[in-house]
Structure 1
Amino acid sequence: FVTFRKGKTPRRPGPKKGSNVEKDPVGVYCRIRPLGTEDQECCVEMISNSTIQLHAPDGLKANRNGEFKEMQYSFKKVFGINTTQMELFEDIGRPLVEDLIHSKNGLLFTYGVTGSGKTYTMTGSPGEGGLLPRSLDLLFNSIGPFQAKRFVFKPDDKNGMEIQSQVDALLERQKRDSQQSVPRTPSSRLKADPEFADMISPEEACKCDNVDDDCCYSVFVSYIEIYNNYIYDLLEDAPFDPIRPKWLGGGTPVRNNEFIPPQSKLLREDQNHNMYVAGCMEVEVKSTEEAFEVFWKGQKKRRIANTQLNRESSRSHSVFTVKLAQAPLDADGDHILQDKNQVTVSQLCLVDLAGSERTSRTRAEGSRLREAGNINQSLMTLRTCIEVLRENQMYGTNKMVPYRDSKVTHLFKNYFDGEGKVRMIVCVNPKADDYEESSLVMRFAEMAQEVEVARPVDRPICALAAGRRHRNQAFRDELSRRLEERGNSNNADPGLLNQLIESLPPIPRCELVDPADDQTLPNLIEVLERRHHIRQMITEQFNQTANMLRSKLQQFDSQIGTRETFIQNQQSKISEKDKVILNQRSEIDRLEKKSKTLEYKIDILQKTTDMYEQDKRSLQLELETREQRLQKELSERRRMEQRMQGMVTDTKLKWEKECERRVNAKQLEMQNKLWVKDEKLKQLKAIVTESNSSCSAERPQRPSRERDRDRNMGQKRSASPSPAAPPVRPTHRRSHSCGGEKWVDHKPSTNLDLDTVMQPILPNAIKVSTPNEKALSKCHKYVLRHQELASDGEIETKLIKGDVFKTRGGGQAVQFTDIETLKQENPTAPRYILSSDQSPFSMSFVNPGPRVWRTSGEEQNPH
């Protein structure tokens, strides 16, 4: 976890008010990619070299009621569908590379919707190199003869450069070559990757002319990606992990084939308040092929995925940084000045932003959905920063620009604060499906053009005299030429003519100082005669050689006639062979281009296949993990079920025993109470019987209602009378239902039919389930059958009876007068009675006999 301090990053002290600081607007260009098929609807039209027009699709107009209108947007320059990669580079990339050579920073990034051609514009394809390979080719073609040896310039890991002496650089080179475990810098003699080997044809190679030849240069490249708002180094050496496809960079093996994911990098601020990636690997390269190899090494690790809109959609923002270090030579033009203050470092950042996308169109899920959210969030932060910068410049406000909300804006904040030129290429897909996204991109590009960035100042020129390297090289060339001439003169063979010339005697001195001198003239005459003789011999030798040459020329002239015809025939054959060779070469070139294209497609398919294989392995691993988890859950569930079944069985047996014990106890308690009640009733009945027989004459006659109550009370008692008392036969009240009246028998549908010996039967009755006025008008009596559960668990039926009479309004009314209770008893239920020969507290078990109905009737208050 990284804890950032609150507040803004300290800036350089800005220019005071009134100071003349020149500013340039952000250069925004537009490039339109061709349509995929001719039948697709186009919504972008190129009006001029700097203006395009957006047409809303017809379906969108109908849905929005004409809300979207045709809008025009202006750019610094618009590149149509027929624009070549070379034309795009000459207008955008070449000025940035020239500024890089002159120690000025630059930022170039592509922006647009996913599938609009951003990666193709930045990288290109075989035969059609993009901005990145052409920039590297121009840089190395310009500074190639003036590059320093390896390890003369060395990064100090703090965004700066150090200068080593020639001896230290040689020792470090030998040390690196001797250490096999240390990864070596890619060699320029190695063959480059076939996908990037022929991106730029020799005819398109170019170079800068205004290069300072009194300096030494070294190029360092780095390649990072910003994935889910984390920075990863794509050049970091780490093995690939196929089990964890999330981490395409792999990790360091630990144990049991487990891998540690690559560590994200942090942003730091150097002593000049410039932002850089701490711990990022910077590789020194000496040629375009080396730079291609390093770039392709990181490109293979970049995160891409297959979506509904793009087969190779970039899932991260990639930043390829070219850093150029240069230092002046000494006064002799032989060695680099060992002064760190004289070293200047400039860099060019080539950024390929991931495309904005809508999940409703890509149908992203899981990690793809999270990636799309982070991409859109970072692009929104970039848009917010541009808006705040524009507002501060146009209205004079001092709002804080939210650079820290995203790693992309935080890394490039120095460029927007005036550290170099900023160029943006807006890539547009003209198909109608991308209209809404393209309109948002256009509005952002139009707003970005209004932001101005301070123009970088030129670096000071070294105080030493110019042309030091040239003078030193001219001196070396002249010295080598003289040495070569001297060596040729010592080793030459003069021949016969040279021997004759050398045999000429030298002319002696001809001065006469004494008149008596008689030796000088004879000696002179002798020398002259010898020289004359030698000259005659030279003339004869020359004539012989001339005659021989003349004879040979005559022989050659005689053979010319025959040879001319032969030469003409051979020339005609050669011309025919040349035509065949040209045709074969053109065919070979066509096949080579086709082979390169197929190799490129094969590599793309291989990467896609690898990606699918990784997804397949990850899904299989996840499926196996889930199956194991499911089997574990099923086994755990079976064990739980068995355990619960055992617990339920034990609990059931326990409660069955407890219920049986409680039921037995309750039955004993109830039978005991019934026995006590029956005993008391027997005693009471005996007393009443004796008192009735002895005092019948003395007591007055009771009313008929009291007699009926006594009869019913006697009917309720089931105990037999005492053998000493005479038998009592009370007269029972006849039921009201036995008369000749007509009844309405109201039996609800919820009542149960009881399987008893005696059934309540009502003759002349109209049976209904719900009472109605028609039935009541035909009858005089009414009875309702009501069932409920008694306290001992038996079903109890109540016959609620009443009289039917007419009301004053012409309706029918019922006045209830009587209730009969019918209770069913189980004949198999045990009963406890008291024997006459046992103690009051001893009981015996007997069967009470057949099932009977007990009827109790009471007169109810009619009111």
Structure 2
Amino acid sequence: MFFVIPFGSQTQYSFKKVFGVSVSQMELFEHVAKPLVDDLIHGKNGLLFTYGVTGSGKTFTMTGSPGQGGLLPRSLDMIFNSIGPYQAKRYVFKTDEKNGMEIQTEVDALLERQRRDNNFSVPKTPSTRLKADPEIADMIKPEEASKLDGVDDDSSYSIFVSYVEIYNNYIYDLLEETQEDAIKPKWNGGGTPVRQNTELIPPQSKILREDQNHIMYVAGCLEVEVKSAEEAFQVFWRGQKKRKVANTRLNRESSRSHSVFIIKLAQAPLDADGDNVLQDKNQISVSQLCLVDLAGSERTGRTGAEGTRIREAGNINQSLLNLRTCIEILRENQMCGTNKMVPYRDSKITHLFKNYFDGEGKVRMVVCVNPKTDDYEETLLVMRFAEMTQEVEVARPVDRPICGFTPGRRHRNQAFKDELSRRLEERGGPIDPGINTEESWDLPSLPSCELTDPHDDITLPRLIEALKNRQRVKISFGILFFLLELDTGLISKDNFIQEQNGKLLEKDRIIQGNKAEIERLEKKSKMQEHKIDILQKTTKIFEDDKRSLQHELGTREQRLQRELSEKRRMEQRLHGVISDTQFKWEKECERRVNALQLEMQNKLWVKDEKLKQLKAIVTESKTPEDRLPPKRSASPSPVPTTTPVRPLHRRSRSAGGEKWVDHKPSSSMDLGTVLQPVIPNAIQVSAPSEKALSKCDRYVLTHQEVASDGEIQTKLIKGEVIKTRGGGQAVQFTDIETLKQERKRKSSEGMSASGDGALTDVETRCSVAVEMRAGSNMGPGYEHHAVTKRRKP
């Protein structure tokens, strides 16, 4: 196939079959879908995709229009034309809701039909609807009807259909009756529709599960048994009206979801007599044909989609992309010998058909192409993907024989019935004389028929009577022969019935044994249930006791926790009081010791001065003037001067040879005390920075706060600078050092309230001098104490 691009060059793609624009739906069905229908009837699975961009004709190819039926209605018509005479009665085959089939007897099927007919009534189509649903007779012309030859007439068939859609990667059942269908307007005979309910509940999404044969299926999906192509097509059309479509710039009715119509064929062999379906679940063969109408890939810029349409287009493109990814990985595994995991679970459409790609059936794809120039880029991707899928090889399943009975059972049974009916109708009538000969019968001999006298009236009547007797004997022998044949057939039937009765008796014995076993198990079950009830009551009592004990334990634990917390608070309070009291007493003791030391120093100094004066008096010459008592001077003796106190800086105890970052906020106050924290070889900053931290090993933060006594205390918070993995710096705090200033008013005792003339006594003058020396440069009546505390953070 050649695909012409807008610039004039050509791109060539190879496909198994290329159909032009003038191809008919019948010709397309003959090449594409008919082999899949043939495989379906012969017990094989099939999958058919329609793939392409938006507006390329995928839905028309699958569904068609009146007079031009698509692949789906033609497939249904061919299936029922082929297996129509061999279909089982309704409800003989029954789904087990686990992707399997069960077989019911004729009696159970009859009861099932009666029960469903009583419980459900098919609603009649309202006569006021504007447009009737299309019939399959309108879609397919009579001369285009197809039929498959070579159908196994010794099997019984039944068709089940289901219809789902994958919308926004969620699976919804299009055949499920929702409340939205129940509240549709219904006419009451007039012109006004009547609503039954106004509450709308959206349909629930379905989930995918795997059956015992590892086949994926939609759990909870409604499967409808159909007996004709018309009924199947009406079921399809009922679901088609629920499918999500929307109006876009590229397509007036654009499909917004992937639709999957599943045709499931169940077949089972007839019994040895060819009358009924063989009651053996293991002999059931289930095959299915999936017809998938994929939503088209599209670009949101071209469609002008907004809101919900954008999300729909994104989910559609993502699911198609995952389909391409799975096909590409399958191709790579087959061509390169790799064993990469195929991401089937990334999308519902690939997860549902995982078994087909793994070899559980035949897969075919119809690629629809729109020759418009605007669709060139999307069409190019479609063509590349479709060409690549041809290189993926899928293993074919092996045919499984259904049963070991001889073929032709249905025809032989029908011929026997016809012959028996004919003979019963002819019973008592003349039998064809050619069937039997006289040699096999014991007929009476004929009398002599020689006539010697023309007036002989005895010979001819006697011969006539003999002939009549022979005729009666022939008739009797014919009837006996027929009765013998009939008796032979009846005897064979009786033998078969006796054999079946023997089997039934054996089955009855087995059933009786099973019933006895069931009764024993029921008694045991009741006993166990009684024990379980007792254990449950005991367990309930124990659980109640456990709950009460747990409640009591919880209450006690809460009380204990409260008591413990109260104890901890009391301990903390007592520790605080003890520490405060200890600190106060330490200060008081220190003050008293300092006062005593100062007092003793003053007394010692006074004694020293007195001894010096006494020594001077003794050693000086004894003049008359000296003997006189000493004169009092109006001015006090000079007080010895003391060395002025200069501010001392206190070096931090942690300061060593490391380089520090000294972080002093701009809000720090200068207290003007003697002891000041100073750290040599430090970088002083008012705010920390990465540049300063990268140059130093240690970090100190000066923090000031008001203590409980109203004084300002300084805290030195120290840490180590470490490098982080990202190339930055971080600080790990290791120590806190506290500097606190205390001020106390000295006692004014011993100070004379008199004027300058009162300081004439040597002892008084000396004591005053010592006091002034201790308090110099510190303000009147105050002492400065620097208290240092260290603690680990």
| TM-score bracket for this pair, using the shorter chain length | 0.5 to 0.7
Give the one of 224, 233, 255 matched to 1:283.
224
Letter in 2 for 1:376: N
Partner of 1:56: 5
Matches within 5 A, 1:621-660: none
Matches within 5 A, 1:652-731: none
TM-score normalised to structure 2 length: 0.52
Confirm or deny that 1:263 pairs with 2:204.
Answer: yes
Partner of 1:749: none
Partner of 1:371: 312
What SS does the corresponding residue of 2:322 show, helix, strand or coil? helix
Matches within 5 A, 1:497-576: 511-512=447-448, 521-525=456-460
Q: In structure 2, what is the Cα distance between the partners aligned to 1:486 and 1:200?
A: 49
Q: In structure 2, what is the Cα distance between the partners aligned to 1:92 and 1:310?
A: 26
Q: In structure 1, what is the Cα distance between the partners aligned to 2:132 and 2:181?
A: 25
Letter in 2 for 1:235: L
Partner of 2:253: 312
Q: 1:192 to 1:169 in 2, by over 3 A?
A: farther
Partner of 1:474: 415
Q: In structure 1, what is the Cα distance between the partners aligned to 2:183 and 2:276?
A: 52
Matches within 5 A, 1:319-338: 319-338=260-279
Q: In structure 2, what is the Cα distance between the partners aligned to 1:441 and 1:300?
A: 28
8 Å CA contact 2:52, 2:382 repeated in 1: yes
Q: 1:141 to 1:511 in 2, by over 3 A?
A: same
Give the one of 134, 138, 153 matched to 1:198.
138
8 Å CA contact 1:192, 1:289 repeated in 2: no
Partner of 2:180: 240
Letter in 1 for 2:4: H
Confirm or deny that 1:112 pairs with 2:66.
Answer: no
Confirm or deny that 1:159 pairs with 2:99.
Answer: yes
Q: In structure 2, what is the Cα distance between the partners aligned to 1:519 and 1:306?
A: 112
What SS does the corresponding residue of 1:453 show, helix, strand or coil? coil
Q: What is the CA distance between 1:237 and its match in structure 2? A: 1.1
> Percent identical across equivalent pairs?
75
What SS does the corresponding residue of 1:318 show, helix, strand or coil? strand
Q: In structure 2, what is the Cα distance between the partners aligned to 1:171 and 1:105?
A: 32
8 Å CA contact 2:51, 2:294 repeated in 1: yes
Letter in 1 for 2:62: M
What SS does the corresponding residue of 2:297 show, helix, strand or coil? coil
Q: In structure 1, what is the Cα distance between the partners aligned to 2:93 and 2:204?
A: 27
Letter in 2 for 1:214: D
Q: What is the CA distance between 1:257 and its match in structure 2? A: 1.6
What SS does the corresponding residue of 1:223 show, helix, strand or coil? strand
Letter in 2 for 1:511: P
TM-score normalised to structure 1 length: 0.48
Q: 1:242 to 1:316 in 2, by over 3 A?
A: farther
1:269-295 deviation per Cα after TM superposition (whole angstroms, max 9, x unaligned): 101111000000000001100101101
- The unaligned stretches of length 5 or more in structure 2 are 126-130, 185-193, 432-443, 466-793
Confirm or deny that 1:435 pairs with 2:373.
Answer: no
Letter in 2 for 1:370: R
8 Å CA contact 2:447, 2:462 repeated in 1: no
Partner of 2:11: 71
Q: In structure 2, what is the Cα distance between the partners aligned to 1:256 and 1:144?
A: 42
Q: In structure 2, what is the Cα distance between the partners aligned to 1:255 and 1:146?
A: 43
Q: 1:296 to 1:489 in 2, by over 3 A?
A: farther
Q: 1:529 to 1:474 in 2, by over 3 A?
A: closer
Q: What is the CA distance between 1:513 and its match in structure 2? A: 11
Give the one of 330, 348, 358 matched to 1:407.
348
Q: 1:146 to 1:256 in 2, by over 3 A?
A: closer
Q: 1:377 to 1:239 in 2, by over 3 A?
A: same
Q: 1:165 to 1:367 in 2, by over 3 A?
A: same
Q: In structure 1, what is the Cα distance between the partners aligned to 2:347 and 2:428?
A: 69
Give the one of 432, 455, 460 matched to 2:401.
460
Q: In structure 2, what is the Cα distance between the partners aligned to 1:294 and 1:305?
A: 22
8 Å CA contact 1:176, 1:182 repeated in 2: no
Q: 1:525 to 1:157 in 2, by over 3 A?
A: closer
Q: 1:144 to 1:364 in 2, by over 3 A?
A: same
What SS does the corresponding residue of 2:33 show, helix, strand or coil? helix
8 Å CA contact 1:254, 1:260 repeated in 2: no
Give the one of 84, 92, 96 matched to 2:36.
96
Q: In structure 1, what is the Cα distance between the partners aligned to 2:376 and 2:464?
A: 107
Q: What is the CA distance between 1:446 and its match in structure 2? A: 1.2
What SS does the corresponding residue of 1:522 show, helix, strand or coil? coil
Confirm or deny that 1:226 pairs with 2:175.
Answer: no
Matches within 5 A, 1:563-642: none
Q: In structure 1, what is the Cα distance between the partners aligned to 2:424 and 2:326?
A: 66
Confirm or deny that 1:132 pairs with 2:67.
Answer: no
- The unaligned stretches of length 5 or more in structure 1 are 1-51, 62-68, 186-190, 245-252, 491-507, 531-863
Q: 1:436 to 1:242 in 2, by over 3 A?
A: farther
Q: In structure 1, what is the Cα distance between the partners aligned to 2:303 and 2:331?
A: 33
8 Å CA contact 2:261, 2:291 repeated in 1: yes
Q: In structure 2, what is the Cα distance between the partners aligned to 1:203 and 1:341?
A: 40
Q: In structure 2, what is the Cα distance between the partners aligned to 1:513 and 1:485?
A: 35
Give the one of 147, 150, 157 matched to 2:90.
150
8 Å CA contact 1:512, 1:520 repeated in 2: no
Matches within 5 A, 1:414-429: 414-429=355-370
Q: 1:360 to 1:514 in 2, by over 3 A?
A: closer
Partner of 2:321: 380
1:195-236 deviation per Cα after TM superposition (whole angstroms, max 9, x unaligned): 543111111112111111000000000000000000000000
Q: In structure 1, what is the Cα distance between the partners aligned to 2:313 and 2:295?
A: 9
Letter in 2 for 1:472: N
8 Å CA contact 2:180, 2:201 repeated in 1: no
Q: Note the aligned Cα RMSD (angstroms).
A: 3.3
Q: In structure 2, what is the Cα distance between the partners aligned to 1:430 and 1:222?
A: 34
Letter in 2 for 1:367: T
Q: In structure 2, what is the Cα distance between the partners aligned to 1:529 and 1:513?
A: 10
Q: In structure 2, what is the Cα distance between the partners aligned to 1:275 and 1:520?
A: 101
Confirm or deny that 1:446 pairs with 2:387.
Answer: yes
8 Å CA contact 1:192, 1:290 repeated in 2: no
Q: What is the CA distance between 1:145 and its match in structure 2? A: 0.5
8 Å CA contact 1:109, 1:351 repeated in 2: yes
Q: 1:206 to 1:192 in 2, by over 3 A?
A: farther
Q: 1:329 to 1:512 in 2, by over 3 A?
A: same
Q: In structure 2, what is the Cα distance between the partners aligned to 1:446 and 1:466?
A: 44
Q: In structure 2, what is the Cα distance between the partners aligned to 1:488 and 1:53?
A: 78
8 Å CA contact 2:169, 2:315 repeated in 1: yes
Q: 1:522 to 1:98 in 2, by over 3 A?
A: same
Confirm or deny that 1:178 pairs with 2:144.
Answer: no
8 Å CA contact 2:183, 2:198 repeated in 1: no
1:740-762 deviation per Cα after TM superposition (whole angstroms, max 9, x unaligned): xxxxxxxxxxxxxxxxxxxxxxx
Confirm or deny that 1:216 pairs with 2:151.
Answer: no
8 Å CA contact 2:183, 2:197 repeated in 1: no
Matches within 5 A, 1:701-780: none
What SS does the corresponding residue of 1:272 show, helix, strand or coil? coil
Q: In structure 1, what is the Cα distance between the partners aligned to 2:138 and 2:459?
A: 77
Q: In structure 1, what is the Cα distance between the partners aligned to 2:120 and 2:429?
A: 46
Q: In structure 2, what is the Cα distance between the partners aligned to 1:376 and 1:333?
A: 53
What SS does the corresponding residue of 1:465 show, helix, strand or coil? coil
Partner of 2:789: none
Q: In structure 2, what is the Cα distance between the partners aligned to 1:183 and 1:232?
A: 23
